[in-house]
Structure 1
Amino acid sequence: MSDTRQTIGRLDAVHPERAGLGLCVAALRPTGGCMDRERGSPLLRADFHVVLLCSGGSGDQRVDLAPHHHRPGSLLWIRPGQVHERPPVIEGTAVCFTDDFLSGETPPPAGPSSWHFGPADLGDVRSHLTVLQGEYRRYVSGPTSSRLTTGEQMLRHLLLALLIRVEQVPPLDETRPLPPHPVARAFVEMVERCFRSIHTAEEYAAVLGYSPRTVARASAEATGLTPKQVIDARLILESRRLLAYTDLPVCAVGHRLGFEDAANFCRFFARATGMSPGTFRASHRW
């Protein structure tokens, strides 16, 4: 096995009925729809958000090596680019959407995040979801008319309301979306795009047009981390994905992440994780 594409299937945002619509709301089923795409890949990486609300059954699912347990009342939010197993056979609803659909209102990559709602919160979340589902069906399957020209705008607001209601409940894990700090947001989004080729805070600051001190202050205020810690954390996350999910040689993993010398990559990984890339791979094979 020599390439991530042999292990990890890529899911692009392709709506089954409305081309160009960056939102899909569907019942969770083991087959049909997106479940029939990339059937030969046990692992998936989507370029859109996937929110799974379980209403029946139970099962486990790993996202970026972290286990998440589905049961009635649980919700899992998988962010774009995160490597995840296929959902287990459970009953529930999947809400998939792109960053572009919400016109920049969605948080930068974080998580994944898990919730288990109590009765009151679950009732509210389901009420929001029911309204979203109804308007989604009306917009996608109903007759087209001039009165529905604002339908996509309504879906956008309903989805945003659902996500805000979800985030009013503390998640089971400790991860939090990045607060809406403009400089920090621009920095983290650029790290997500350029972490393979840019490894220093000074280079990011120069490209963004801010001083290194401004970027450092914004990063600390929004994330509690220095810019170097943000950059290194993103490199380590991708390193773990490639080491656990592929058979790429360690030197090739380092090269993909911008390390020309394999020894430098090994030292970087060991310093950040406390183990060598080979030891990590041996203990985290998927």
Structure 2
Amino acid sequence: MRAAEPRTIPVFGLYGEVAETTIPGFVHAERIGSSASLHGWEIGVHRHVNLSQALVVTEGGGISRIDGRQDVIVAPWLIWVPASVVHAFSFRPGTDGIVLSVADDFLGSVIEHDHEAARLREAADAMFSGRLGAPDEIDLDLRLILDALAHEVFGHLPGSISVVAALAKLVLVGVLRTRAARAIVEPAAVARADLHRRFRRLVEAHLRENWPVARFAAELGVSTDRLHAACTEAVGRAPQVIIHDRLMLEAKRSLIYTTLSVAKIAFDLGFNDPAYFSRFFSSRAGMSPAAYRKRGHAEPAPQA
């Protein structure tokens, strides 16, 4: 008898490890080279639910693709990837540094009682990719902090949880200060990139509610023209296209990874009419949802 197909979409814990949930309080640190080399220096498109990551590239470089934005990485380089943000990396062979993975519950406990909690939360929620702030520029040496974290995570010494919490907070402060330093250099570009990021987060939160672009713009406190400019500069795509792309991705995942009917998928995605959903899908995929499901079971599934 054929095994039942999954009705839920698998998510990544660490890259290459499929997990249903992130372990509460999970903190992990490892060398970039030791992990990336196992995958041919190519870290494919993926995301982590309830898990944020900081990468400090100390040697080499490559290309990062984060939430639709592409950057050329040149060491020393800092990357902060909030939970659920889609990302991928192409590293040059020999690239090294440290990647820190922190569960959201642990990150929240680090931030919660700090008098600057709002600013630290902002840093935790905002994607960043840019030149690593020099120690004399941000008054912190993130390379040394992450080295200490990597050592402490596996040390199992008394008080290690407190040390890891303190160091994780310092990482967030370093991200916050580095972002602030970059904003001084290019404030307009940073503001547009931040608007695009906030729009993408709203799309994720309200994907199934059939919001028009004007509703998203109003929630963000900007005009539709300003939102359009921010999105086209960041990823070369209009807000409506971004919304449709995201709906298509979710539809494709559901068709391949679940056994839900096409009508149920349509209703779950906010479509009132399954026939309209089928036309919407067919015009963009070049085939009906049923045909895509049939073909998808024989080919690699879409990733994000």
State the TM-score bracket (shorter-chain normalisation). Answer: 0.5 to 0.7
Aligned partners of 1:13 and 1:268: how far apart in 2?
35
Secondary structure of 2:256's partner?
Answer: helix
Secondary structure of 2:292's partner?
Answer: helix
Q: Is the 8 A contact 1:244 1:284 kept in 2?
A: yes
Following superposition, the deviation at residue 231 of structure 1 comes to 0.2
| Change beyond 3 A, Cα 1:2–1:207 | farther
Which one has a larger percent helix, Structure 1 or Structure 2?
2
Q: Is the 8 A contact 2:98 2:146 kept in 1?
A: no
Q: Is the 8 A contact 1:53 1:76 kept in 2?
A: no
Equivalence for 2:182: none
Equivalence for 2:168: 152
Question: Are positions 1:118 and 2:93 aligned together?
Answer: yes
Equivalence for 1:240: 252
Aligned partners of 2:191 and 2:287: how far apart in 1?
32
Following superposition, the deviation at residue 24 of structure 1 comes to 2.1
Equivalence for 2:81: 106
| Change beyond 3 A, Cα 1:99–1:258 | farther
Aligned length: 207
Aligned partners of 1:252 and 1:242: how far apart in 2?
10
Equivalence for 2:129: none
| Change beyond 3 A, Cα 1:116–1:179 | farther
| Uncovered stretches (5+) of structure 1, i.e. residues with no partner | 28-50, 57-69, 82-95, 165-177
Secondary structure of 1:194's partner?
Answer: helix
Once the two structures are superposed, residues 134-155 of structure 1 have per-residue CA deviations (whole angstroms, 9 ceiling, x without a partner) of: 5234156232289947322345
Aligned partners of 1:263 and 1:247: how far apart in 2?
19
| 2:193 partner letter | H
Q: Is the 8 A contact 1:135 1:155 kept in 2?
A: no
Aligned partners of 2:287 and 2:30: how far apart in 1?
42
Secondary structure of 1:75's partner?
Answer: strand
Equivalence for 1:135: 149
TM-score, normalised to structure 1, is 0.58
Aligned partners of 1:54 and 1:183: how far apart in 2?
31
| 1:115 partner letter | S
Following superposition, the deviation at residue 111 of structure 1 comes to 4.4
Q: Is the 8 A contact 1:254 1:262 kept in 2?
A: yes
Q: Is the 8 A contact 2:152 2:160 kept in 1?
A: no
| 2:230 partner letter | A
TM-score, normalised to structure 2, is 0.55
| 1:227 partner letter | P
| Change beyond 3 A, Cα 1:52–1:114 | farther
| Uncovered stretches (5+) of structure 2, i.e. residues with no partner | 12-18, 55-78, 100-141, 180-189, 299-304
Match of 1:4 among 3, 7, 18: 7
Aligned partners of 1:146 and 1:118: how far apart in 2?
34
Equivalence for 2:28: 24
| Change beyond 3 A, Cα 1:208–1:131 | closer
Aligned partners of 1:230 and 1:52: how far apart in 2?
35
Aligned-residue sequence identity (percent) comes to 23
Equivalence for 2:47: 79
| 2:212 partner letter | T
Following superposition, the deviation at residue 271 of structure 1 comes to 1.2
Following superposition, the deviation at residue 239 of structure 1 comes to 0.3
| 1:152 partner letter | A
Q: Is the 8 A contact 2:48 2:84 kept in 1?
A: yes
Q: Give the root-mean-square deviation of aligned CA atoms.
A: 4.1
Match of 1:204 among 192, 213, 216: 216
Aligned partners of 1:52 and 1:267: how far apart in 2?
46
Secondary structure of 2:28's partner?
Answer: strand
| Change beyond 3 A, Cα 1:197–1:142 | same
Once the two structures are superposed, residues 146-174 of structure 1 have per-residue CA deviations (whole angstroms, 9 ceiling, x without a partner) of: 9947322345578x6xxx9xxxxxxxxxx
Equivalence for 1:42: none
| 1:231 partner letter | I
| Change beyond 3 A, Cα 1:231–1:108 | farther
Aligned partners of 2:53 and 2:258: how far apart in 1?
28
| 1:143 partner letter | P
